[in-house]
Amino acid sequence: MKATLLTALIAATATLTGLVSKVETASAAGFTWNNTWTQPAISSGFNADPFQQFVQQEGIALPNSGQVKLDPSKLNLKYDYKVSVDFINEGASYRNQLAFNATGTTNSSGLLFKDASCNESKCIMSGASSGLKIGDGVNIGTIAGGTQLDLFLKADGFNNSNGNIFGTQTASNADGLQHVVAYAYNNYIILGFEDLYGGLHATGNLNQNSDRDFNDLVVVLDIGEANVRELIGATVPEPSVTLSMFALGAVGMFGLRRRQTRTSN
């Protein structure tokens, strides 16, 4: 049984506040998803156990998620580092894809996970004939200091090349909603994604009743201890302050079960 979200947030109090912000104005207009990208080599063996406490229960809305909104400008690396991304868990009926974009000193982009669904029973959702095991990961390569990173999820991209693309920058998402939350923990950054469109919009997308649990893909981003420390700064919040901040949102929890059925391909 996973620890409750509140317990996980308490465990992260030493690093959380310096990373997150409520900035919503950045644009991701320069990012283009390339459907010809191929799956990079996958390695296994990353110890994902300590990070499972950050995986929200299926269908339970993350309380006060706006308080853990990722500020994309804070993913700017100060030091060179060989960056990697590891799969922690997922609770999606969709078979999502994940890509990255690097701009600045290093300019590159590419696919991270062609099929970010889970094929083992330990995940929230499982049953895909292909996909990932907990602890599978990929290397992006060395990213030079002065580079900004961003990650993007394509909803059901394994089955639908025209799936909705959601990133860390709220203003660039077609539904205008937050689709990524982030935590700093043990010198890593944890990213949780929400893959369902959340409202009517001029693009023609229909409301998919997004359950706002941000567990449709959970990954760990390794950008190196020195870079994480630069991101979070020297400010360490009092545990009671952080606890109170998230306790206020706990009363807003609700559950919505997925109606889609995952298809195997």
Q: Which of 8-12, 187-191, 230-234 has the highest mean pLDDT?
A: 187-191
pLDDT at residue 202, as a whole number: 62
Q: Could you give the angle at the alpha carbon of 90 between the alpha carbons of 228 and 24, nearest 5°?
A: 50
pLDDT at residue 173, as a whole number: 85
% of residues, the chain, pLDDT over 90: 40
pLDDT at residue 251, as a whole number: 24
Q: CB-based burial of residue 37 (10 Å sphere; 0-12 exposed, 13-18 middle, 19+ buried)? A: middle
Q: Comparing 72 with 251, which gets the higher pLDDT?
A: 72
- Over 80: is that where the pLDDT of 153 sits? yes
Which tokens sit at 143?
A: 């990213």
pLDDT at residue 70, as a whole number: 47
Please write the tens of the pLDDT for every residue from 68-104. 554 655 789 999 999 999 999 998 888 999 999 999 9
Q: Could you give the angle at the alpha carbon of 55 between the alpha carbons of 136 and 42, nearest 5°?
A: 10
Mean pLDDT of the chain: 74
- Over 90: is that where the pLDDT of 188 sits? yes
